[in-house]
Amino acid sequence: MWQDGHQRKLSSNTTAILTPDQLFKVTSEIRVSSSDKNNYTCIFANDVCSATFHIPDEIPVPRVKNDALIIVLSIGVIMVVIIVVMLMYRQQKGSRTKSTRNLLVNSQRSVPAAACCMEEHLGAFLKAHYSDSSLSTEVRRHCDAFCVEELPHKLQNNKDQPVNLQALLPEAGETLFLEGPSGSGKTTVAHILVSSWTEMHTHALSNLLDLSTLRLLLYVDCSKVKDGLFPEILIQLSLTEQISGDELRAILTRSSEALLLLDGYREGKHFFDKSLRKFLMEKRGCRVLVMACPGHCPTLKDTVGTEGVLQLQTQSMT
Protein backbone atom coordinates (compact mmCIF):
# COMPACT_ATOMS: atom_id res chain seq x y z
CA MET A 1 0.00 0.00 0.00
CA TRP A 2 1.21 3.50 -0.93
CA GLN A 3 0.34 6.82 0.64
CA ASP A 4 1.70 10.34 0.22
CA GLY A 5 2.78 12.86 2.83
CA HIS A 6 -0.81 13.89 3.34
CA GLN A 7 -1.80 10.32 4.27
CA ARG A 8 -3.70 9.87 1.02
CA LYS A 9 -3.69 6.41 -0.46
CA LEU A 10 -2.32 5.99 -3.95
CA SER A 11 -3.06 3.32 -6.49
CA SER A 12 -0.12 1.13 -7.41
CA ASN A 13 0.86 -1.63 -9.78
CA THR A 14 2.17 -4.54 -7.73
CA THR A 15 3.59 -7.85 -8.98
CA ALA A 16 5.01 -10.86 -7.12
CA ILE A 17 7.42 -13.41 -8.64
CA LEU A 18 8.72 -16.63 -7.07
CA THR A 19 12.49 -16.88 -7.36
CA PRO A 20 14.49 -20.12 -7.73
CA ASP A 21 15.39 -19.74 -4.08
CA GLN A 22 11.74 -20.10 -3.18
CA LEU A 23 11.55 -16.40 -2.31
CA PHE A 24 9.04 -13.89 -3.51
CA LYS A 25 10.25 -10.81 -5.41
CA VAL A 26 7.62 -8.13 -4.99
CA THR A 27 7.64 -5.04 -7.23
CA SER A 28 5.32 -2.15 -6.53
CA GLU A 29 5.08 0.94 -8.75
CA ILE A 30 3.33 4.26 -8.49
CA ARG A 31 3.42 7.15 -10.97
CA VAL A 32 3.72 10.66 -9.61
CA SER A 33 4.75 14.02 -11.07
CA SER A 34 8.43 14.90 -10.58
CA SER A 35 7.46 18.55 -10.24
CA ASP A 36 5.43 17.86 -7.10
CA LYS A 37 7.57 17.94 -4.05
CA ASN A 38 6.22 15.28 -1.69
CA ASN A 39 7.11 12.09 0.11
CA TYR A 40 5.63 8.69 -0.63
CA THR A 41 5.57 5.69 1.73
CA CYS A 42 5.20 2.04 0.79
CA ILE A 43 3.76 -0.07 3.61
CA PHE A 44 4.00 -3.83 3.42
CA ALA A 45 4.07 -6.97 5.57
CA ASN A 46 0.81 -6.16 7.30
CA ASP A 47 1.81 -2.64 8.14
CA VAL A 48 4.96 -3.85 9.88
CA CYS A 49 7.52 -2.56 7.36
CA SER A 50 7.59 0.59 5.30
CA ALA A 51 9.84 2.62 3.02
CA THR A 52 9.55 6.35 2.35
CA PHE A 53 10.79 8.18 -0.78
CA HIS A 54 11.20 11.95 -1.18
CA ILE A 55 10.34 13.22 -4.63
CA PRO A 56 12.08 14.80 -6.52
CA ASP A 57 15.06 14.76 -4.14
CA GLU A 58 15.61 11.05 -4.53
CA ILE A 59 15.11 10.80 -8.26
CA PRO A 60 18.33 9.09 -9.39
CA VAL A 61 20.44 11.02 -11.94
CA PRO A 62 21.75 8.80 -14.72
CA ARG A 63 25.50 8.11 -14.24
CA VAL A 64 26.26 9.04 -17.81
CA LYS A 65 25.08 12.57 -17.17
CA ASN A 66 27.13 12.75 -13.95
CA ASP A 67 30.24 11.56 -15.75
CA ALA A 68 29.70 14.06 -18.54
CA LEU A 69 29.22 16.84 -16.03
CA ILE A 70 32.40 15.87 -14.21
CA ILE A 71 34.32 15.79 -17.49
CA VAL A 72 33.00 19.21 -18.55
CA LEU A 73 33.81 20.71 -15.16
CA SER A 74 37.29 19.19 -15.21
CA ILE A 75 37.99 20.57 -18.67
CA GLY A 76 36.71 23.96 -17.57
CA VAL A 77 38.96 23.98 -14.51
CA ILE A 78 41.97 22.96 -16.60
CA MET A 79 41.27 25.73 -19.14
CA VAL A 80 40.97 28.31 -16.39
CA VAL A 81 44.28 27.17 -14.89
CA ILE A 82 45.97 27.33 -18.30
CA ILE A 83 44.63 30.83 -18.98
CA VAL A 84 45.77 32.06 -15.55
CA VAL A 85 49.23 30.55 -16.04
CA MET A 86 49.57 32.12 -19.50
CA LEU A 87 48.52 35.53 -18.22
CA MET A 88 51.00 35.32 -15.35
CA TYR A 89 53.76 34.21 -17.73
CA ARG A 90 53.10 37.07 -20.12
CA GLN A 91 53.04 39.56 -17.29
CA GLN A 92 56.31 38.27 -15.88
CA LYS A 93 57.87 38.15 -19.34
CA GLY A 94 56.78 41.71 -19.98
CA SER A 95 58.26 42.79 -16.67
CA ARG A 96 61.53 41.03 -17.42
CA THR A 97 61.65 42.52 -20.91
CA LYS A 98 60.99 45.98 -19.55
CA SER A 99 63.57 45.50 -16.82
CA THR A 100 66.10 44.22 -19.34
CA ARG A 101 65.35 47.12 -21.67
CA ASN A 102 65.73 49.60 -18.82
CA LEU A 103 68.96 47.91 -17.78
CA LEU A 104 70.32 48.13 -21.31
CA VAL A 105 69.26 51.76 -21.65
CA ASN A 106 70.74 52.64 -18.28
CA SER A 107 73.89 50.74 -19.19
CA GLN A 108 74.14 52.56 -22.51
CA ARG A 109 73.64 55.86 -20.75
CA SER A 110 76.07 55.11 -17.96
CA VAL A 111 79.00 54.27 -20.26
CA PRO A 112 79.08 57.65 -22.08
CA ALA A 113 78.38 59.42 -18.78
CA ALA A 114 81.35 57.69 -17.13
CA ALA A 115 83.52 58.39 -20.17
CA CYS A 116 82.53 62.08 -20.16
CA CYS A 117 83.38 62.37 -16.47
CA MET A 118 86.76 60.77 -17.13
CA GLU A 119 87.40 63.10 -20.07
CA GLU A 120 86.54 66.14 -17.97
CA HIS A 121 88.84 64.94 -15.19
CA LEU A 122 91.69 64.31 -17.62
CA GLY A 123 91.10 67.63 -19.34
CA ALA A 124 91.36 69.53 -16.06
CA PHE A 125 94.47 67.57 -15.08
CA LEU A 126 96.16 68.20 -18.44
CA LYS A 127 95.45 71.93 -18.34
CA ALA A 128 96.97 72.10 -14.87
CA HIS A 129 99.95 70.08 -16.10
CA TYR A 130 100.51 72.38 -19.09
CA SER A 131 100.09 75.47 -16.89
CA ASP A 132 102.74 74.21 -14.45
CA SER A 133 105.17 73.69 -17.32
CA SER A 134 104.14 76.86 -19.13
CA LEU A 135 106.46 78.67 -21.47
CA SER A 136 108.63 81.50 -20.29
CA THR A 137 107.55 85.03 -21.00
CA GLU A 138 110.16 85.40 -23.70
CA VAL A 139 109.17 82.16 -25.45
CA ARG A 140 105.51 83.08 -25.15
CA ARG A 141 106.20 86.44 -26.78
CA HIS A 142 108.03 84.69 -29.62
CA CYS A 143 105.12 82.25 -30.13
CA ASP A 144 102.57 85.05 -30.27
CA ALA A 145 104.65 87.03 -32.75
CA PHE A 146 105.27 83.95 -34.89
CA CYS A 147 101.56 83.14 -34.96
CA VAL A 148 100.51 86.65 -35.96
CA GLU A 149 103.36 87.72 -38.23
CA GLU A 150 104.76 84.57 -39.85
CA LEU A 151 102.44 81.61 -39.61
CA PRO A 152 99.64 83.04 -41.82
CA HIS A 153 102.19 83.39 -44.63
CA LYS A 154 103.97 80.07 -44.10
CA LEU A 155 101.05 77.71 -43.54
CA GLN A 156 99.88 76.06 -46.78
CA ASN A 157 97.97 73.00 -47.91
CA ASN A 158 99.42 70.31 -50.19
CA LYS A 159 98.46 72.45 -53.19
CA ASP A 160 100.68 75.32 -51.98
CA GLN A 161 97.62 77.40 -51.12
CA PRO A 162 97.63 79.47 -47.90
CA VAL A 163 95.25 78.34 -45.15
CA ASN A 164 94.21 79.93 -41.87
CA LEU A 165 95.23 78.77 -38.39
CA GLN A 166 91.98 76.92 -37.83
CA ALA A 167 93.10 74.43 -40.50
CA LEU A 168 95.58 73.09 -37.92
CA LEU A 169 92.67 71.42 -36.10
CA PRO A 170 91.91 68.07 -37.78
CA GLU A 171 88.33 67.03 -38.34
CA ALA A 172 86.84 64.35 -36.10
CA GLY A 173 88.54 61.04 -36.90
CA GLU A 174 91.09 62.70 -39.21
CA THR A 175 94.86 62.25 -39.15
CA LEU A 176 96.55 65.43 -40.36
CA PHE A 177 100.24 65.92 -41.17
CA LEU A 178 102.07 69.21 -40.70
CA GLU A 179 105.37 69.00 -42.56
CA GLY A 180 108.23 71.43 -42.69
CA PRO A 181 112.01 71.37 -42.64
CA SER A 182 113.93 71.62 -39.41
CA GLY A 183 113.64 75.14 -38.01
CA SER A 184 110.44 75.97 -39.89
CA GLY A 185 108.46 76.40 -36.65
CA LYS A 186 106.64 73.08 -36.12
CA THR A 187 107.40 72.93 -32.40
CA THR A 188 106.41 76.58 -32.06
CA VAL A 189 103.06 75.71 -33.65
CA ALA A 190 102.71 72.84 -31.17
CA HIS A 191 103.33 75.23 -28.25
CA ILE A 192 100.77 77.65 -29.67
CA LEU A 193 98.14 74.89 -29.86
CA VAL A 194 98.85 73.70 -26.31
CA SER A 195 98.77 77.18 -24.76
CA SER A 196 95.69 78.18 -26.77
CA TRP A 197 93.79 75.09 -25.55
CA THR A 198 94.98 75.51 -21.97
CA GLU A 199 93.93 79.15 -21.73
CA MET A 200 90.99 79.00 -24.14
CA HIS A 201 89.20 82.36 -24.41
CA THR A 202 91.79 84.20 -22.31
CA HIS A 203 94.53 83.36 -24.80
CA ALA A 204 95.78 86.26 -26.90
CA LEU A 205 95.15 84.29 -30.11
CA SER A 206 91.69 82.97 -29.25
CA ASN A 207 90.19 85.07 -32.04
CA LEU A 208 92.42 83.31 -34.58
CA LEU A 209 92.26 79.74 -33.30
CA ASP A 210 89.19 78.13 -31.70
CA LEU A 211 89.87 74.86 -29.86
CA SER A 212 86.75 74.94 -27.71
CA THR A 213 85.49 71.71 -29.29
CA LEU A 214 88.32 69.79 -27.60
CA ARG A 215 88.00 68.19 -24.18
CA LEU A 216 91.48 66.71 -24.39
CA LEU A 217 94.76 67.74 -25.99
CA LEU A 218 97.62 65.30 -25.51
CA TYR A 219 101.07 66.58 -26.51
CA VAL A 220 103.81 64.02 -27.13
CA ASP A 221 107.45 64.96 -27.81
CA CYS A 222 108.39 62.19 -30.22
CA SER A 223 112.12 62.94 -29.92
CA LYS A 224 111.98 61.48 -26.38
CA VAL A 225 109.96 58.31 -26.95
CA LYS A 226 111.37 54.94 -25.89
CA ASP A 227 108.21 52.82 -25.55
CA GLY A 228 104.84 52.34 -27.20
CA LEU A 229 102.35 55.14 -27.82
CA PHE A 230 100.21 54.89 -24.70
CA PRO A 231 103.01 54.25 -22.19
CA GLU A 232 104.73 57.34 -23.59
CA ILE A 233 101.59 59.46 -23.24
CA LEU A 234 101.16 58.35 -19.63
CA ILE A 235 104.79 59.03 -18.75
CA GLN A 236 105.31 62.32 -20.59
CA LEU A 237 102.04 63.83 -19.31
CA SER A 238 102.32 62.37 -15.77
CA LEU A 239 99.08 60.42 -16.18
CA THR A 240 100.22 57.10 -14.71
CA GLU A 241 98.26 57.67 -11.49
CA GLN A 242 95.24 59.14 -13.26
CA ILE A 243 94.30 56.50 -15.82
CA SER A 244 95.45 53.17 -17.23
CA GLY A 245 96.77 52.69 -20.74
CA ASP A 246 93.73 50.61 -21.72
CA GLU A 247 91.30 53.24 -20.41
CA LEU A 248 93.15 55.98 -22.26
CA ARG A 249 93.14 53.93 -25.44
CA ALA A 250 89.37 53.39 -25.13
CA ILE A 251 88.73 57.12 -24.70
CA LEU A 252 90.97 58.21 -27.56
CA THR A 253 89.64 55.52 -29.88
CA ARG A 254 86.08 56.74 -29.39
CA SER A 255 86.23 60.45 -28.57
CA SER A 256 85.94 63.06 -31.30
CA GLU A 257 86.75 65.74 -28.73
CA ALA A 258 90.36 64.66 -28.27
CA LEU A 259 93.45 65.82 -30.16
CA LEU A 260 96.65 63.77 -30.13
CA LEU A 261 99.54 66.09 -31.00
CA LEU A 262 102.75 64.30 -32.07
CA ASP A 263 105.65 66.76 -32.30
CA GLY A 264 108.85 65.86 -34.13
CA TYR A 265 107.77 62.41 -35.27
CA ARG A 266 110.31 60.32 -37.17
CA GLU A 267 110.00 56.67 -38.05
CA GLY A 268 112.60 54.24 -36.72
CA LYS A 269 111.48 53.48 -33.15
CA HIS A 270 109.86 50.09 -33.59
CA PHE A 271 107.54 49.89 -30.58
CA PHE A 272 106.28 53.43 -30.94
CA ASP A 273 105.84 53.18 -34.72
CA LYS A 274 103.94 49.89 -34.50
CA SER A 275 101.62 51.02 -31.69
CA LEU A 276 100.95 54.34 -33.43
CA ARG A 277 99.99 52.69 -36.72
CA LYS A 278 97.76 50.23 -34.87
CA PHE A 279 95.98 53.06 -33.05
CA LEU A 280 95.50 55.11 -36.22
CA MET A 281 93.88 52.12 -37.92
CA GLU A 282 91.56 51.43 -34.97
CA LYS A 283 90.50 54.92 -33.92
CA ARG A 284 87.12 56.31 -34.88
CA GLY A 285 86.75 59.78 -33.43
CA CYS A 286 90.13 60.98 -32.18
CA ARG A 287 91.83 63.81 -34.08
CA VAL A 288 95.56 63.38 -34.73
CA LEU A 289 98.10 66.02 -35.82
CA VAL A 290 101.52 64.65 -36.77
CA MET A 291 104.35 67.18 -37.06
CA ALA A 292 107.36 65.92 -38.98
CA CYS A 293 110.05 66.85 -41.46
CA PRO A 294 109.38 65.84 -45.07
CA GLY A 295 110.35 62.23 -45.69
CA HIS A 296 110.47 61.27 -42.00
CA CYS A 297 107.24 59.20 -41.93
CA PRO A 298 106.61 57.57 -45.33
CA THR A 299 105.23 54.32 -43.88
CA LEU A 300 102.80 56.15 -41.64
CA LYS A 301 101.59 58.30 -44.52
CA ASP A 302 101.08 55.21 -46.65
CA THR A 303 99.07 53.67 -43.82
CA VAL A 304 96.64 56.55 -43.27
CA GLY A 305 96.82 58.32 -46.64
CA THR A 306 98.24 61.67 -47.68
CA GLU A 307 95.13 63.75 -48.32
CA GLY A 308 95.46 65.67 -45.06
CA VAL A 309 98.85 67.35 -45.37
CA LEU A 310 99.76 70.91 -44.42
CA GLN A 311 103.14 72.50 -45.03
CA LEU A 312 105.28 75.10 -43.33
CA GLN A 313 107.36 76.97 -45.87
CA THR A 314 110.71 78.55 -44.94
CA GLN A 315 111.05 81.30 -47.49
CA SER A 316 109.13 83.79 -45.36
CA MET A 317 111.17 83.26 -42.18
CA THR A 318 112.86 86.26 -40.63
List C-alpha distances in Å: 285 to 47, 67, 150, 236, 247.
113, 76, 31, 23, 15
Distances (CA, A) of 216 to 176, 197, 235, 248, 288: 17, 9, 16, 11, 12
Are 215 and 254 spatial neighbours (Cβ–Cβ below 8 Å)? no
Confidence of residue 237 (pLDDT cuts 50, 70, 90): very high
Could you tell me which residues come within 8 angstroms of residue 131 by beta carbon, excluding any fewer than 6 positions away?
198
What are the residues facing 292 on neighbouring strands? 179
CB count, 10 Å around CB of 155?
Answer: 22
Contacts of 237 (CB under 8 A, 6+ apart): 126, 129, 218, 219
Measured torsion, CA atoms of residues 140, 213, 229, 244, in degrees rounded to the nearest 10: 110
Please report the pLDDT score of residue 125 as a whole number.
94
Question: Exposed, middle or buried: residue 34 (CB in 10 Å: 0-12, 13-18, 19+)?
Answer: exposed
Name the packing angle between helices 245-254 and 63-132 (round to 10°): 100
With beta carbons less than 8 A apart as the criterion, state whether 286 and 255 touch: yes
Distance from C-alpha of 167 to C-alpha of 177, rounded to nearest angstrom: 11
**pLDDT tens readout for residues 19-57:** 777 666 677 777 777 667 777 777 766 666 677 767 766
Mean pLDDT over all residues of the chain? 81
Give the tens place of pLDDT for each residue, 133-146: 766 666 777 777 88
Are the CB atoms for 1 and 9 separated by under 8 Å?
yes
Whole-prediction pTM: 0.63
In tens, the pLDDT along 204-234 reads: 666 678 899 999 999 999 999 999 999 999 9
Say how far apart CA 179 and CA 210 lie, in whole Å.
22
As a whole number, mean pLDDT of residues 257-286 equals 95
Q: Give the pLDDT of residue 123.
A: 92
- Residue 317's pLDDT band, with cuts at 50, 70 and 90, is very low
| 9-10: strand order across its sheet | 9-10, 2-4, 38-44, 49-55
DSSP assignments along 225-255, one per residue: --S-HHHHHHHHTT-TTT--HHHHHHHHHH-
Q: Which domains does the chain have, with CATH numbers?
A: 2-55 (no CATH), 131-312 (3.40.50.300)
